[in-house]
Chain A
Amino acid sequence: MNGALTRYRVIAWIVGVMLLLLTLVAMPMKYFGDNNLGVVIIAPVHGWLYVVYLAAVGDLARRVQWPVTRILLVALAGTVPFLSFVMERRTVAWIQGNDRQPSFTEA
């Protein structure tokens, strides 16, 4: 369980950072700077990392008794900039048994 959670957390962070790179760096480069390079490199990498993210979410779902809506929510959160980091914290709270809203001031 801890291994699956750790795998999920690692890939969630990687996908989250890649998504920020894509939306905050590569896309402005393409549409304002007329430079396609960032998108050409980052978009496929992010796409395949998101596939790995889905695998990690599926693996996690196999081990917990979550309602299906929550699984889909966690899966889709990986596609929304910034939300992936929030969802990563919620997921850790869900797994570790306290359904309270995690306070974001905690380290």
Chain B
Amino acid sequence: MSISGQAILADVRRLLTPGWLAGHALALLAVVTCLALGWWQAGRAAEGNTLSWAYTFEWPIFAIFVVVIWVREIRLTLRKGRAEPAAAAVDPVDRPRPVITRRVNQPTAADDDSGDPQLAEYNRYLAWLNENPEARPSDYPAKEYR
């Protein structure tokens, strides 16, 4: 058997577990019930009950909703089955996180701010960053460097 044939067979088998068989039966029952109720309302509408016209079209829409949810479940199940081997190879959660380092200029006593208040403030900011390696620049209490 070809590889794709085997894959399809594996997919089909995944949808024939006891739980899924019950699920298919329930979904089918719900669809048939909705369509039958729509048919019943169509009969009442034909007899002259105007209110039934809306329900004649609404019940089939409810059936469509059931089918949409049904298909969604089938696709989720198949995707889960296919994704598992690949997910084991590359698990984004377990991968070590990259280490981000930030080099902070260290102001020293030799720094000459020449009496410039802006430069002095900037040096204080750098000194603060150096003292608080965990902090982000935006944590600095002074307004200018936020």
Contact = CB atoms under 8 A, between A and B. Distances in A.
Interface of A: 39-40, 43-44, 47-48, 50-51, 54, 58, 61-62, 65, 68, 71-72, 75
Interface in B49-70: 50-51, 54-55, 58, 61-62, 65, 68-69
A72 B69 contact: yes
Contacts of B72: 61-62, 68
A93 B51 CA distance: 37
Contacts of B51: 39-40, 43-44
Q: Mostly helix, strand, loop or mixed at chain A's interface?
A: helix
B48 to A, nearest CB: 14
Size bracket of the B interface: 10 to 19
Q: Mostly helix, strand, loop or mixed at chain B's interface?
A: helix
A39 B52 CA distance: 12
